[in-house]
Structure 1
Amino acid sequence: MVNFTNRKHGSREGDRHDREDGEQHRPPDERTRLLPREREPYLSPDDPAVSPYNLWSVRALRGLSIAFLAISFIWWTFLLVSLFVSAPAVHTRGSGFFAFAYTTLTVGYLLFGLIFFSVPSKPMTIWGFILALFLFTDMCITVAVPKIRVEEGWVGIASVVWAVIISVWNIIQNRYVAWGKREEEERLTGREETRWTLGEWLAVLCETLFSAVIAIISILFMITLALRARDATLHAPGQKYWVSANNYQVHLNCVGNTSSDNSTTVLIEGGEGPVEHTLQPFIDELYQRGAIPRYCYWDRPGIAWSDNAPSPFSAGMASDALSEALALADEEGPFVLVSAGVGSIYSRIFASRHLLETRGIFLIDPLHEDYLSDIANPGRGFGLWVRGILSPLGLDRILGAIFKHRTREDRVFGRSAYQTGKFIRAKLQENLVAGSMTYSEIQAARHVQMADTPLVVVSSGDEVDNNRKWAQKQEDLTAITKNLKNWDVVQDAPHEVWRTTKGRQTLEERLRAMV
């Protein structure tokens, strides 16, 4: 009996040793490749070998995320450069900040997922679902609203679709890594590890805060898109015309009937803001009273109803766009060019390129070309760029709509128009070339301008009294032709001279005489 028992015991021991020898000689698989060959049956939970990276599928998942990050970063860099110099294939008729904002969000979210790759958590998954939901809503609005879809083009649509895909990818990645981590803990330590180290607690806290911030950003994007969808229902008076080889459209509106006696048309060039909010209402009042027979006004690219133009974009290019739009509208002139502020730069260049059609130049507190260096100030350009980057959040527009009851008219062409990404992009384009291309064009215009073209200059008394240089430059502008009809300095009038009664009276009297 003893011998039989010993033989049986020896047989079991031999079988166990055979199994151990078999395990030692078995080729490594994805669960054992990174583990030491000789180990205890169970490892300590704190052992570095207890890791989801033991699974090749988890490592492959991380590799794909790195590849997605590289692709997104290359696209982000390309969009950043396109804000300053537009590539022909990727020019959007919108601001360009929309696609850049969503790509920035995508890059940040991918980087965030990689940093906390090995510390998956439920809060990260929950916030990921919220982010994916709102980004999906953004995608639906972008595609469903025709005006937004056209403005953003394939670049904007592709950027927001990619953001949705990456948000879903991060959810899948987080859940799969959590599964892999749990599987490896159960296999190597005998149970799932439920306690967290201090480092893991801090990591989960950072994950939760960062995910919440990204989700809030997506909510702001969605509300801003909803406002844009609302603004898109406001129809433009007049017509929009394709210009510059059908790259973008500009808005032009002419008021009054064309008569057979070749009467003069007043052509308005807006100043610093949309012409509909500044100079056009005053000119329309003169038209209603019969002071002028008819008038036309347009929106420079990026302002009000006009699309953004490719960068770089100078005042001379704007003059060419206006010329093309007028030709398409069968507006042949003759014109009296009325402009205010920085609009005088654009108007003077237009006059130099339409010498025979220009019957008079009427400047209201005009900007002298020597002040273009202020417009081209690098600090101003950087500020505009930052405002543009933040514009898709729409904080100022959202707060204005909620607390100040700003309407779609305010946002499209009114007092809040400066908050839109299109307007900011237009001002950034103006800043980038003001000291170079635009300055050269206005200098050439001064040399080309016909000497006998009638000229009227009406200056702000406040600006002239408070700034000696401004007063000197206003006087210099009275000499751009040799046919100065009047130079008026309206006392106590602001830069927008028509805001005062005396200013309105002076402008009406001089414009009647010129027309």
Structure 2
Amino acid sequence: MSQNASARSSISASPVDSPAEETTSLLPPSAPAHPHSHSHPHTHPHMPNHAHARKTSISARSISGRSVAGSVRNYGAVAGRPGPAEQAPRVSKVGQRRILTTFPLQATFFILTLLVFAAFVLSLILLLNTVLDFSVNFLPYRGSGFTEFWIALIGAWIGLGGVLFFSHPSYLFFLTTLITLILHIPIIFLSLLSPSLKRNHAPLILVPLVLTASTLIFTLLANFLVRRAKKQESLRISRMLTEAAGRERASEESTARALVGVQGKGFWGRLLGFFGGVVGLIAGLTGLVLVSLLLVDLSISAYDGSLPLPSASSRLVKVHPQSSQWPINIHLSCTSSNSSLPTVVYTSSSGVPGSLALLPTPLPPVAEGAQNPGRWLFDLQEQGRLGNVCTWDRPGYGFSDVLSNADLGSISDALWEALDSAGVIRDSKKEELLMVGEGYGGLISRIFAARHPNNIHAFLHLDAQTASTYFSELSTTQFISRLTSRLFPSLLTPLSLNRLPSVLLRRSTSLSRILASSHPTPSTVRLNENLRKARLQETIGSQSMNSKSFRILLESGYKYPSSKPAIVLSSKDRIEKDERWAEGQRVLAEEVTAEEGLVDWIKVKEVGHFVCESEEGKGICEDSILKLVKIKSK
């Protein structure tokens, strides 16, 4: 009894705030001795199993979670039956496993997984649609489709993060996902209320928006449910341990943290949780940044879409080519004149909107001494030396809508319908159109003439493309090269990585962003995603010898009015440097054009692809078209 009294007195004499007292505050109270323990032959107060001796040994231990768990192990145990504290670590681990087995969490996880899979599939479809245009068969839209791809990808990315970190939710991931979801609201309003955005994106954009919003909602729901389930499980274990301990000072939160959180995770568990939180934060911030950039770009596009047409003679004409599933608007500008001279129809080169010809000076940013392609035609018209002069923005260029499946035949049909609707073609049997095709525009002029030979007066080919120079056998290396040089940069356009800096630094105007062009330099193509889409259609979609455009061009040769007067202007420098180009120009002048139709083949010196830009080249171009205008129709 004296030894027991001394042990009790040593404990009571210890300071209240000592580590030993803090440790024992989480422990169960001393249990009364077994009724028959005094008669047990092996019971002795000096043995470690004695209650007071055991408490003294516990008081000397550290306050770590491991020491706490060890101190309570086997407490209150009787023969063949472990005490409640011995069950605590095992119950806590089982409890953590039980969190994900409840029906609400299982259903949420299953639905979230399905949404993520659907978002990834939709992202792949929209990615392929940017080149192949196959999803447009059931969802009419008149834009590039790049924005829709990014919205679907954002939903897939954040949803994947929600699945991977389902059992380890992060507050920061929850916060970034919530903000991303909120930012979808102005995107929906912009897409439906802005006339230009509604025409370019609706209703296709609603599909990824609804799917992404659903994915984000279930990601947030999963994050919330798992955190709540973990908290409830911790409180349950805390209550069990607190009741077993019987100490009012031990709060539920500190007990759960000491006995469940610390000893359950350990060093590697805490390290894994830290990296999981970092990765979740990065995933959430990535989605937030992407959707913010999309919102900025759509806002700029909505503002630019309110800009009026560039000329008093400009008009939007509704056309519906046979290959298109729905009508589109084509921007056409024709000067009015009472002259009986044939109407000049100018079709610009690849990457150059025809509307630039309407502007007396190039749009910023531009190099010194640059000229707008086709402007010299309107200068002649203003001087009264030409009759009507028409220029147009091909589908996807300038103020014109994007055309699905835009092969050469569909583009030429769109031009015919636009001229017909505008009343330019007053008599279907009268030869009145003088076709001026520059570069890629030369191919369109040829197909247009083959389909409407009775409406052709003459041709002026300005360093025009031909079948041998434009089309080629598509190898794997060339296809990958086109993807990296055209598709991937095009996909980045809706993120406003170029447009936003140009707006903030005032390097471009609304008109220069709408009439973005590869010429004059520096190129501004990166400022307009519809133009990027049109160039993808012209290259990846139509530049192969297996493409529909190539077949249409070959078939047009049988109906092409080769005997009509034609002048071919070629860059001499380019001919001397490129044998393939030289052969293509020769075929255009000597084979595509019949001998009786060829008026002249002029190799212009010291000019590049745009042969009418230099002073000498401009003079040759003016003389050539005036010569063709004066030729009497046969």
1:326 aligns with 2:447: no
Distance 2:91 2:282 in 1: 27
What pairs with 1:206-225 in structure 2 (closer than 5 Å)? 206-225=279-298
2:528 corresponds in structure 1 to 420
1:379 aligns with 2:493: no
- CA drift of 1:448 comes to 2.1
Secondary structure of 1:241 counterpart: strand
Secondary structure of 1:42 counterpart: helix
Distance 2:613 2:601 in 1: 18
> How large is the RMSD of aligned CA atoms in angstroms?
2.4
Distance 2:333 2:509 in 1: 25
Distance 2:466 2:153 in 1: 39
Secondary structure of 1:492 counterpart: coil
Distance 1:135 1:45 in 2: 43
1:279 corresponds in structure 2 to 373
What pairs with 1:37-186 in structure 2 (closer than 5 Å)? 41-43=87-89, 47=93, 49-51=95-97, 52-83=99-130, 84-87=132-135, 88-186=137-235
- Unpaired runs of 5+ residues, structure 2, are 1-34, 36-83, 240-255, 263-268, 357-371, 426-430, 518-523, 630-634
Secondary structure of 1:226 counterpart: helix
- CA drift of 1:189 comes to 5.4
- CA drift of 1:499 comes to 1.9
Q: Name the stretch that deviates more: 204-213 or 401-410.
A: 401-410
Distance 2:156 2:466 in 1: 44
2:50 corresponds in structure 1 to none
Contact residue 516 and residue 531 of structure 2 kept, 8 A: no
Selected match of 2:460 from 331, 338, 362: 362
Contact residue 360 and residue 454 of structure 1 kept, 8 A: yes
Distance 1:45 1:505 in 2: 93
1:3 corresponds in structure 2 to none
Secondary structure of 1:447 counterpart: coil
- Unpaired runs of 5+ residues, structure 1, are 1-8, 10-37
Q: CA 1:45 to 1:486, structure 2 compared with 1: closer, same or farther past 3 Å? A: farther
Secondary structure of 2:88 counterpart: coil
Code of the aligned partner of 2:195: P
1:249 aligns with 2:347: no
2:603 corresponds in structure 1 to 489
- CA drift of 1:210 comes to 1.5
Code of the aligned partner of 1:447: Y
Q: CA 1:54 to 1:451, structure 2 compared with 1: closer, same or farther past 3 Å? A: closer
Size of the aligned set, in residue pairs, is 477
Q: Name the stretch that deviates more: 345-354 or 389-398.
A: 389-398
Q: Which has the larger radius of gyration?
A: 2
Contact residue 336 and residue 360 of structure 1 kept, 8 A: yes
Contact residue 346 and residue 390 of structure 2 kept, 8 A: yes
What pairs with 1:375-454 in structure 2 (closer than 5 Å)? 377-383=478-484, 384-403=486-505, 405-415=507-517, 416-431=524-539, 432-434=541-543, 435=545, 436-454=547-565
1:471 aligns with 2:582: yes
Q: Deviations over 1:275-331 (max 9, x none)?
A: 2234342322222122211111222211111212223x3101211121122222222
Q: CA 1:206 to 1:382, structure 2 compared with 1: closer, same or farther past 3 Å? A: same
Secondary structure of 1:154 counterpart: coil
Distance 1:45 1:373 in 2: 72
1:23 corresponds in structure 2 to none
Code of the aligned partner of 1:210: A
- CA drift of 1:204 comes to 0.3
Code of the aligned partner of 1:348: R
Code of the aligned partner of 1:500: S
Secondary structure of 2:192 counterpart: helix
Code of the aligned partner of 1:347: S
Secondary structure of 2:410 counterpart: helix
Q: Percent identity?
A: 20
TM-score norm. by structure 2 comes to 0.71
Contact residue 269 and residue 338 of structure 1 kept, 8 A: yes
Code of the aligned partner of 1:400: S
- CA drift of 1:99 comes to 1.4
Distance 2:116 2:580 in 1: 53
Contact residue 158 and residue 283 of structure 2 kept, 8 A: no
